[in-house]
Amino acid sequence: MIILFGQSFAWNAPEVLIPAVILLLVLGLLVMVLRASGRAAPQLMQEMSWISQRVQSLSEGQERLAGGLHHVSEAQSLSQTAMIQLMENRLAEVQRFMGESLTGSSMRTARSLGDLQQRLETIDKAQANIEKLSGNVLSLQDILANKQTRGAFGEIQLNDIVAKALPPDAYTMQATLSNGKRADCLIHLPNPPGPLAIDAKFPLEAYEALRRAENPRQVQEANMALRAAVRTHIKAISDKYIIEGETADGALMFLPSEAVYAELHANFPEIVREGFAARVWIVSPTTCMATLNTMRAILKDARLREQTGAIRKELAELYKDIERLSERVGNLDRHFGQAAKDIEEIKISSDKAGKRARRLDAFDFEELALPIEPKVPE
Q: Is residue 129 over pLDDT 80?
A: no
Q: Give the domain ranges of the chain.
A: 2-35+49-108, 147-310
| Strand-by-strand arrangement of the 251-254 sheet | 171-176, 182-187, 196-200, 251-254, 280-283
DSSP string, 121-178: HHHHHHHHHHHHHHHHHHHHHHHHHSHHHHHHHHHHHHHHHHHHHS-GGGEEEEEE-T
For residue 156, which of 196, 113, 128, 185 has the smallest C-alpha distance?
185
- pLDDT at 105 exceeding the cut of 80: no
- Distance from C-alpha of 197 to C-alpha of 361, rounded to nearest angstrom: 103
The residues, ordered by sequence, that sit 6+ positions from 281 with a Cβ below 8 Å of its Cβ are 250, 251, 252, 253, 275
Would you say residue 140 has pLDDT above 50? no
**What whole-number distance in Å separates Cα of residue 187 and Cα of residue 158?**
12
Dihedral Cα 344, 349, 353, 359, nearest 10 deg: 90
pLDDT at 138: 43
Q: In terms of residues, how long is the chain?
A: 378
- HSE at residue 63, side-chain half, CA atoms within 13 A, is 5
Residue 252: per-residue pLDDT: 92
pTM above 0.85, yes or no: no
CA distance 296 to 10: 115
Q: Any idea what DSSP says for residue 191?
A: T
Q: What is the reported pLDDT for 354? A: 76
Which of 64-73, 79-88, 276-285 shows the lowest mean pLDDT across its residues? 64-73
Give the whole-angstrom CA distance, residue 120 versus residue 114. 10
Q: How confident is the model at residue 361 (pLDDT cuts 50, 70, 90)?
A: low
Strand partners, 173: 185
Give the pLDDT of residue 87. Answer: 82
Please check whether residue 236 is in contact with residue 227, taking contact to mean a CB–CB distance below 8 angstroms.
no
Of 250, 152, 147, residue with least CA distance to 198: 250
Whether residue 251 contacts residue 279, with contact meaning beta carbons closer than 8 Å, is answered with yes
Q: Tell me the CA distances in angstroms from 178 to 197, 221, 250, one per residue in order.
A: 13, 39, 16
Q: Burial, 190: exposed, middle or buried (Cβ in 10 Å; 0-12, 13-18, 19+)?
A: middle
pLDDT in tens, 31-59: 665 665 555 455 656 766 776 677 677 76
Instruction: Give mean pLDDT, residues 19-33.
Output: 67
Longest dimension (CA), the chain: 226
| Residues β-bridged to residue 254 | 200, 283
Separation of alpha carbons 317 and 308, rounded Å: 14
Residue range 357-364: average pLDDT? 68
Q: Which of 233, 178, 246 is nearest to 203 (CA)?
A: 233
Phi, psi at 369, each rounded to 5°: -75, 140
CB 178 within 8 A of CB 243: yes
Residues 170, 188: contact at Cβ < 8 Å?
yes
pLDDT digits (tens, 9 = 90+) for 225-282: 888 989 999 999 998 988 888 888 889 999 888 888 888 888 889 999 999 999 999 9
